[in-house]
Amino acid sequence: MVDSGSQNRYAFSMTDKNREDAGHEYFSQLYGATSDEGEPQQTFFDKWRDKLLVNTYRKYGKNKLDESDVLDVGCGYGWLLDAFEGANTLCGVDIAHHAVEVAGRRKPERFFKQGDLHDPSPFPQKFDLILAINIIEHLSNPEAGISSIQNSAKPGAIVLVHMPTISNWLTRWEYSKLYDSDPTHIYRPSGKTVRKLFEANGFETLRDSYLPHFPAFLTKIWPIHPAYLAVFKRSN
């Protein structure tokens, strides 16, 4: 178990209320930055990470971005999809009704639906790229979530996964300081476990590393940070 003595920066426990009802308060604390008007906004780091994800898809995806249909699972307010502007189709799904409403108001030309990743996707079409960024750790049944992702992916599609993991005593300690305050982090695997789950569901691992903004060879041998990035490809 991760140290539970760290101060909980969330004003409520998501174990006591339905995640579907998560609203402005939760997302303000989730994103970690607010505007002068008190509205949630992205941090500089999040914007930089999103650019990294776009470059990663350009490296591994079989289609150009403007030919790609993109799905963001756990999309929140839809900011990650801003980085993929120019894609053929941009879709997002989130369990929180509030998030879907905000995302739809921000970008009415995109497609947002409410849905639970444990269930079949509310979008009937298949996608070239699926973004699972900081979402797998929120799943009570990760196998069901990964199966849902697999069913939404076209043959040869790319899935980008980013999440906090626990692989050794150092990352366990870092996790307790950086991530343990979020009561919705209920799945706390190692990166190796995540990779095996995806591979068991018909995916090939193209790349996985810790501290994804550093060269993979520096962190592959001994993980020094919980942050984990994996690039999976659905088998044909």
Report the pLDDT value the prediction gives residue 184, as an integer from 0 to 100: 79
Contact 87, 65 (CB under 8 A): yes
SS3 117: coil
What domains sit in the chain, N to C, each tagged with a CATH number? 43-234 (3.40.50.150)
pTM comes to: 0.82
Report the pLDDT value the prediction gives residue 212, as an integer from 0 to 100: 63
Question: Quick one: tokens of 200?
Answer: 């068991």
Burial of 57 (0-12, 13-18, 19+ CB in 10 A): buried
- Helix (H) or strand (E) run with residue 64 in it: none
The per-residue DSSP string of 147-187 comes to: HHHHHHEEEEEEEEEEEE---SHHHHHHHHHHTTT-TT---
Contact 110, 90 (CB under 8 A): yes
pLDDT tens sequence for the chain (236 residues): 223 333 333 333 343 344 555 555 565 555 555 555 556 667 777 888 899 999 999 999 999 999 999 999 999 889 999 999 999 999 999 988 888 998 999 899 999 999 999 998 999 999 999 999 989 998 999 999 999 999 999 999 999 999 888 787 777 787 777 777 777 788 888 889 999 999 999 999 999 888 766 665 555 656 777 788 899 999 97
Burial of 108 (0-12, 13-18, 19+ CB in 10 A): exposed
How many other CB atoms are there within 10 angstroms of residue 110's CB atom? 20
Report the pLDDT value the prediction gives residue 174, as an integer from 0 to 100: 78
Report the pLDDT value the prediction gives residue 173, as an integer from 0 to 100: 83
Question: Which residues are paired to 227 by β-bridges?
Answer: 164
